[in-house]
Amino acid sequence: MKDDHTDRSENPEDIAFAQAMRDRRRFLRTAALIGACLVLAVLYCLALDLVVLSNSVMDPLFLTCDHRILDARSASYGLYVHWDSTDIVHPQLMLNDSIPVPESRESATTFPLGDLVKLQVVLPHGVESGLHTGDLVLTREQSRPKNPETAQIPISLDINGSLLSNFHFSVLLCSALLLISILFYLGLTLATPRPFGKLLFADPLRPDAPYRSARLKMRKIAWLCPWKRNVLPLKYIWNRNKIRPRMAVVGYLLFLTRSGDPQLVIVSKHSGDFQRISMSDWQRPRLDPKAGHQIGRRDTMRQDRAYIYKSHKLDSIVKFRFDHRLY
């Protein structure tokens, strides 16, 4: 995003261009800093949400049985859960963090009744919101005959919303940052002018050939990178319109305002050269070899100026000029 190619002269055009380039670099640095901060803030919030969600579990529920079994340590009971409704997805009950509590008597989990039992509630994917009611059923597996054969403990679990509802502040913060990012993108888009007008091309070696017109359009990458909206590389224009000779110079057109004349900025011209000619030379069928004069690293493409591009390797030339009008 550097545009350090300015002529160091006392020409008023050069002074105005140098000031415009300094303002543009300052604007791009500020925009890049704000954009980077917004992107990092959004990524931080998203990463924080993922970490919190991945480590989120409900606090375990502890099951306490009030019984009158004399020898409780030697009593073993099977445990399963019986839900009142069977056509919906219910919460999953875990015994001591690792053993799932089955929902049928045939696969009941056996545990010593005298030990402290931790019952944990896990919400699987697709669990229904609302009230889940049922019974924890204890069936006697091994104990004295005096111990009860079965025991039922009513349970009621109210599932009100998903896990995301527990992190509403972080979600709102992330949404606010995304909204600010969208507004920043729109502001950057509105603050950066887009190309307009057209380039007219002519072949001096073929005076009978008609002029070619190339409408200057914004590149597709500029929709993703709005700071590139007002920059059109010369190679992009040449290749898109199949202009001969092919562009061998590194340079671009820079639109600093929405209606002003663009700047022709030359970065490197090892294998090609640019010369400025007058409008009278542009209109002549045949070009005078001594008509043009060399331009520096940049030139304002005013309406009364035209240019010649000479390719050293191909030993050929092409005339072109900028026109505000599209038709």
Of 293, 322, 317, nearest to 305 by C-alpha is: 322
pLDDT confidence of residue 74: 56
For 20-48, how does the pLDDT look when each residue is reduced to its tens digit (9 = 90+)? 888 888 888 888 888 888 888 878 877 77
Three-state secondary-structure class, residue 289: coil
Please give the single-letter amino acid code of residue 127: V
pLDDT confidence of residue 7: 44
Of 6-10, 78-82, 142-146, 204-208, the least confident: 6-10
What average pLDDT does this structure show over 36-61?
72
Cis peptide before 245 (omega within 30 of 0): yes
Over 60: is that where the pLDDT of 311 sits?
A: yes
Higher pLDDT, 259 or 69: 259
For 227-242, how does the pLDDT look when each residue is reduced to its tens digit (9 = 90+)? 889 999 998 998 888 8
- Does pTM surpass 0.75? no
pLDDT band at 118 (very low <50, low <70, confident <90, very high): confident
pLDDT band at 96 (very low <50, low <70, confident <90, very high): confident
pLDDT confidence of residue 79: 82
Contact 101, 131 (CB under 8 A): no
- Write down the number of H helices and E strands in the chain: 5, 18
Report residue 170 as tokens.
Answer: 């972080």
What percent of the chain is modeled with pLDDT above 70? Answer: 78
